[in-house]
Amino acid sequence: MKSVCIIGISGKLGQYMAEHALARGYEVVGVCRAESVSKLDRFGDRITLIPGRTNDRSVVENAVAGCDGVLTVLVPWGVEGYATGTAQAVLDFAEPGARLVFSCGWHISRDGRDVYGWKLRLFVAVFGRVARFLRFADLEDQVEACQRIFASDTAWTVVRGSDLEEGESEGLPVWARHVGDPVLESNITRRTDFALFMVHALTDDSLIREAPAVVSCQSASARAHGGGGES
Ligand SMILES: NC(=O)c1ccc[n+]([C@@H]2O[C@H](COP(=O)([O-])OP(=O)(O)OC[C@H]3O[C@@H](n4cnc5c(N)ncnc54)[C@H](OP(=O)(O)O)[C@@H]3O)[C@@H](O)[C@H]2O)c1
């Protein structure tokens, strides 16, 4: 892994991923909306920025060229297929064999075997309908984006984040294949560690074509039940 592209680098998750990628000595290319470029001033010339919307196919094609890995923040904003457009552009234009790592939340299920608590089901049902009605966000579009990724024969990983909080790193999160696994019960991860897991996934071949649901390694459930992606 020498060079990575971060699609959606200006958000909180994107900036943490940039920090972790630079700390590993990777060259970093990033895509973010033009109005968000200034959020990245502190990185100076340590990163190469390509301003543009993350579903702009020509922007993504340009950004991922020559990159060994692509880290994509999948967001469901708007109702015009932002997440699907972003994912499809990455799938279409990333270098053959590149490691592709995408972010989403626990609400995405690869095989329907996740077991969700009432809070998450309620959130998805209520937020999903209200956001779609107000044309603010489209959770179904993020679901569709992930279905396309799952169906792809690229070297993908879809990292499914728990609830997130700010704070110092607690270390690499642990993961499970399915929500409902007791190791995930605490449902909390530091955002910097979600980013750490995304960057870690670039070089962990055991995560290829996996959709790990992650939780802090310091959380009560992780301490009680261990972890490691076997369930
Ligand atoms: N928040 C949570 O609790 C949570 C939990 C689990 C998983 N996740 C996953 O984590 C990822 C990002 O989460 P985050 O909360 O940490 O957010 P974030 O890092 O702040 O990322 C938000 C991203 O959305 C972009 N964005 C915001 N408004 C937009 C708009 N109107 N049109 C297009 N792009 C827009 C931002 O770009 P700009 O900088 O240009 O605004 C930024 O790249 C997502 O994949 C999400 O599913 C989040």
Nearest to 164 by CA among 214, 218, 89: 214
Most confident of 117-121, 145-149, 225-229: 145-149
- Burial level of 20, CB count in 10 A (0-12/13-18/19+)? buried
33: Cβ below 6 Å to ligand 1? yes
Helices 57-64 & 82-93, crossing angle to 10 degrees?
40
Give domain limits for the chain: 3-225
| pLDDT for the residue numbered 227 | 63
Q: How far is the CA of 138 from the centre of ligand 1 (A)?
A: 13
| pLDDT for the residue numbered 229 | 52
Q: Is the pLDDT of residue 104 over 60?
A: yes
Q: Take residue 12 and report the two structure tokens written for it.
A: 């909180």
Do 213 and 182 meet the contact criterion of CB atoms below 8 Å apart? no
| pLDDT for the residue numbered 144 | 97
Instruction: Collapse the DSSP code of 25 into the 3-class scheme (helix H, G, I; strand E, B; otherwise coil) and give the result.
Output: coil
Q: Is the pLDDT of residue 126 over 50?
A: yes
Q: Please give the Cα distance from 210 to 205 (Å, whole number).
A: 10
Q: Is the pLDDT of residue 3 over 60?
A: yes
* Mean pLDDT for all residues in the chain: 96
| pLDDT for the residue numbered 228 | 55
**DSSP string computed for 161-224:** E-SEE-SS---SPEEESSBTBGGGTT--EEHHHHHHHHHHHTT-GGGTTB--EEE-TTSHHHHH
Per-residue pLDDT, averaged over 135-149, amounts to 95
Q: Take residue 137 and report the two structure tokens written for it.
A: 């966000």
Mutate to test the pocket of ligand 1, among 73, 100, 196 (most ligand atoms within 8 A of CB): 73
173: Cβ below 6 Å to ligand 1? no
- Tell me 95's DSSP state: P
Residue pLDDT, tens place only, 167-222: 999 999 999 999 999 999 999 999 999 999 999 999 999 999 999 999 999 999 99
Ligand 1 atom with the smallest distance to the CA of 164 is 3
Q: Is the pLDDT of residue 94 over 80?
A: yes
C-alpha distances out from residue 46 to 18, 35, 74, 210, Å: 10, 20, 24, 31
Scored b (16 or more CB within 10 A) or e, 190-212 reads bbbbbbbbbbbbbebeebeebbb
Residue pLDDT, tens place only, 32-90: 999 999 999 999 999 999 999 999 999 999 999 999 999 999 999 998 999 999 999 99
Which H or E element spans position 156?
strand 155-161
Percent of the chain with pLDDT over 90: 95
Instruction: Collapse the DSSP code of 5 into the 3-class scheme (helix H, G, I; strand E, B; otherwise coil) and give the result.
Output: strand
Question: Is pTM, for the whole model, over 0.85?
Answer: yes
| pLDDT for the residue numbered 231 | 44
Q: How confident is the model at residue 226 (pLDDT cuts 50, 70, 90)?
A: confident
77: Cβ below 6 Å to ligand 1? yes
Q: Take residue 197 and report the two structure tokens written for it.
A: 């897991």
Nearest to 227 by CA among 193, 199, 203: 193
- Tell me 112's DSSP state: S
Q: How far is the CA of 103 from the centre of ligand 1 (A)?
A: 9
Q: Is the pLDDT of residue 230 over 70?
A: no
Does domain 3-225 fall under CATH 3.90.25.10? My reply is: no
